Structure 1
């Protein structure tokens, strides 16, 4: 049987491993430098409160791809969950994303849908015809006041720079609704695994042909090419090449942890939009499992910072200088044989869980077809 190395035990690596292992044609070794599987989706129960905690920040599974939804559910039950985010600005609590309730509350109005649309059109900056930056996109989209309230301070904290320095594309995925729908996502399927994401990934990896080694660093393709027939790499693309062209820019997050009795904030996620509040949001994890009952609670303040060498990269910045460096790494990737780069870090893209799983399924199926095992 052919030997396969997979670097990374998150969703990308687990989906590829599971798909290949089921053919019975491959021996698969997975290595991950962390001491647990699941990557940034890792979940575990807090020993004090018994609450299921998303160790690297909130993860809500959402997709309109029925194949992806059914695939994930085949490894564990996803319970329905609607993410209803709130945002605090100047000591007032608002509903996010911006919807009819937000608009009426913010402006002290009682608009219907059509009235609200016309009102927002009058607020938007019509002089901006082709927005190039985050700030221009926001001002064109919702106007100066809503931009300053809900996007300016939060975005500046999240990305560590003035929003005018960020591309407009970051904002284009944030909806504005002219009804009272406060569901943060638009996707058909939305849920959270009953036993957490790590349990889902553990079941993906339960196969006699899959071996997982944790706390193990991947050295380089040169050290493994004589051992394995193919390498699937899901780590940072710049790290694979030992940062020879420089480091790609990322923002990372860190958390301050608190425990208490009862219910701290009454909601899973509350954003803090004011610039003078150091953290971006607070997440209280008992609210991600509303089917469970807990007398105690655990919650986290989330802070954003530049990614240093010892940090876990979260959000690719993709500024012009980053994209220039990325092109050099992608050129090196194109020269490699028997190595596949996939996932958020290896392709330097912002990807949600459903994108990652869909990509991994396609990559695995294409590999099997090319290898004669379709």
Structure 2
């Protein structure tokens, strides 16, 4: 079977860029690939750019720290741009006090005014936990079962309510998949062995992925499936699945974020990310972007207050809500999707699930590999 000679990739984020790169470098006669994106830049939500006013490298759509436990994925991204080690040490502000996240031994001792060792802390938290809850039916019950009321109210209730725009009782228990607590003083937000930030920014990685004579990138171009699918031998689609099908079963729920920028001299908060857990504070967190690249020295600084809200037509969707009503709609879209030919759905929006960067990259590599294999048989 001959390979398609004309391919369209919708989305110039990591999903689209990885597929474009893999098809370009792993085929003896690579196809003509057109990559379109409705935004005016490549990189998707991972887009980074040098701020002209402060010279700080900013993450335009919020902080992105690359982390993975997959050595192959780590080596893959480093083959494009060198990554510098970076440990995300998130802090939380609650009732005018600063705590370490994830919840760890220091957080526990500080919040409860104790000086417990690890074994004492385990017994202490076990006493705090609500053991009357057998099978948690929602996020709040899941948190109360494992953490107890005080830790839940301090670090999860207000923040979650602001982040998701609803009472935590309305959210599925699965959001809190594991016990979000450590009984040591480890304040590394992630547990993966490979963690870092590219010294030239994430957009440079995507640019290098797309740098091939057979790849044509077109920005500011809106995808219309009724027109585009007929012009290409195959389409790789990383946009919203409900939009692809014209919202025939209704719109899927997403939360989006927006930012308020502030500039200054020196150091504003002394850390890359601080969460604001009090429900009375309207923003969810503040990120100061000079701290994401500590190897650079900047006299000026820039920080962003981050707010969460429901996604409207003009907004960029960030986090799939995946409530019961959403999943019922998504199931209908999946059933229609399975009947499609000549199109591959991939990425966070097209599969309606939250994915970190390493998940997106791994999935895209697998999709490209399978595509090549299928046509080689």
Shift in alpha-carbon separation, 1:352–1:82, aligned structure 2, 3 A: same
Q: Is 1:7 matched up with 2:29?
A: no
> In 1, distance between residues paired with 2:179 and 2:376?
42
> In 1, distance between residues paired with 2:261 and 2:311?
20
Name the residue aligned to 2:283. Answer: 279
Name the residue aligned to 2:252. Answer: 248
How is 1:1-374 mapped onto 2 (pairs within 5 angstroms)? Answer: 2-22=5-25, 23=27, 24-173=29-178, 175-220=180-225, 222-372=226-376
> In 1, distance between residues paired with 2:178 and 2:260?
28
> In 1, distance between residues paired with 2:5 and 2:180?
47
> In 2, distance between residues paired with 1:241 and 1:258?
40
Confirm or deny: 8 A CA contact 2:146 2:179 kept in the other structure.
no
> In 2, distance between residues paired with 1:140 and 1:85?
24
Deviates more, 1:223-232 or 1:36-45: 223-232
> In 2, distance between residues paired with 1:354 and 1:266?
28
CA RMSD, 1 decimal: 0.9
Confirm or deny: 8 A CA contact 1:13 1:234 kept in the other structure.
yes
> In 1, distance between residues paired with 2:261 and 2:57?
14
SS in 1 for 2:302: strand
Confirm or deny: 8 A CA contact 1:97 1:184 kept in the other structure.
yes
> In 2, distance between residues paired with 1:45 and 1:174?
38
> In 1, distance between residues paired with 2:205 and 2:174?
32
* Deviations 1:212-261 (CA, angstroms, capped at 9, x unpaired): 000000111x3123321110000000010111111000000000000000
Shift in alpha-carbon separation, 1:260–1:174, aligned structure 2, 3 A: farther
Confirm or deny: 8 A CA contact 2:10 2:16 kept in the other structure.
yes
SS in 1 for 2:116: coil
TM superposition score normalised by structure 1: 0.98
* Deviations 1:244-286 (CA, angstroms, capped at 9, x unpaired): 1110000000000000000000000000000000000000000
SS in 1 for 2:314: coil
* Deviations 1:72-103 (CA, angstroms, capped at 9, x unpaired): 00000010000000000000000000000000
Q: CA deviation at 1:174?
A: 6.2
Q: Which runs of 4+ in 1 moved over 4 A?
A: none
Q: Which residues of structure 1 form unaligned runs of 5+? A: none
> In 1, distance between residues paired with 2:300 and 2:178?
35
* Deviations 1:126-152 (CA, angstroms, capped at 9, x unpaired): 011111211001101110000000000
* Deviations 1:273-307 (CA, angstroms, capped at 9, x unpaired): 00000000000000000000000000000000000
Shift in alpha-carbon separation, 1:225–1:307, aligned structure 2, 3 A: closer
Alignment: residue pair count: 372
TM superposition score normalised by structure 2: 0.97
* Deviations 1:119-172 (CA, angstroms, capped at 9, x unpaired): 000000001111121100110111000000000000000000010110111122
> In 2, distance between residues paired with 1:124 and 1:173?
14
